[in-house]
Amino acid sequence: MAREFRLPDIGEGLTEAEIVRWLVPEGEQVAADQPVVEVETDKAVVEIPSPYAGTVLRHGGAEGETIAVGSVLVVIGDESEADTGDAPPQARSAPSGPVPTQPPPAVLEPQPVATAAPIVGSLSEDAETLSTRGEAAGATPADTVKALPIVRKLARDLGVDLGSVQGSGPDGRVTREDVLAAASPPEPSPVAEESVASVSTVAVAAPGQSPEGPGTDERRPMSRLRRTIAANMSRSWAEIPHVTTFDEVDASRLLEIRSALGARHDTKIPMEALVIKAVVPALQAFPEFNGTIDGDDLVLHGSHDIGIAVDTPDGLLVAVIKDAGSRGVLEMASEVRRLGDGAKARSLGSDELTGQTFTVSNIGAVGGGHGTPIVPFGTTAILSVGRAKEKVIVADGELAIAPLMPLSLSFDHRVVDGAQGRRFMALVIENLEEPALFLAG
Which active-site residues does the annotation give? 413
For 291, phi and psi rounded to 5 degrees?
-115, 175
What span, in angstroms and rounded, lies between the C-alpha atoms of 285 and 283? 5
Q: Which residues contact 301 (CB under 8 A, 6 or more apart)?
A: 290, 291, 292, 357
CB 34 within 8 A of CB 49: yes
Dihedral of CA atoms 146, 148, 151, 155 in degrees, nearest 10, equals 50
Q: Other CB atoms closer than 10 Å to residue 24's CB: what's the count? A: 19
| Residue whose C-alpha is closest to residue 253's, from 431, 435, 392 | 435
**Ramachandran sector of residue 331 (left: φ over 0; alpha: ψ -120 to 50; beta: rest):** alpha
**Which residues sit opposite 383 in a β-bridge?**
360, 409
Q: Which residues contact 137 (CB under 8 A, 6 or more apart)?
A: none
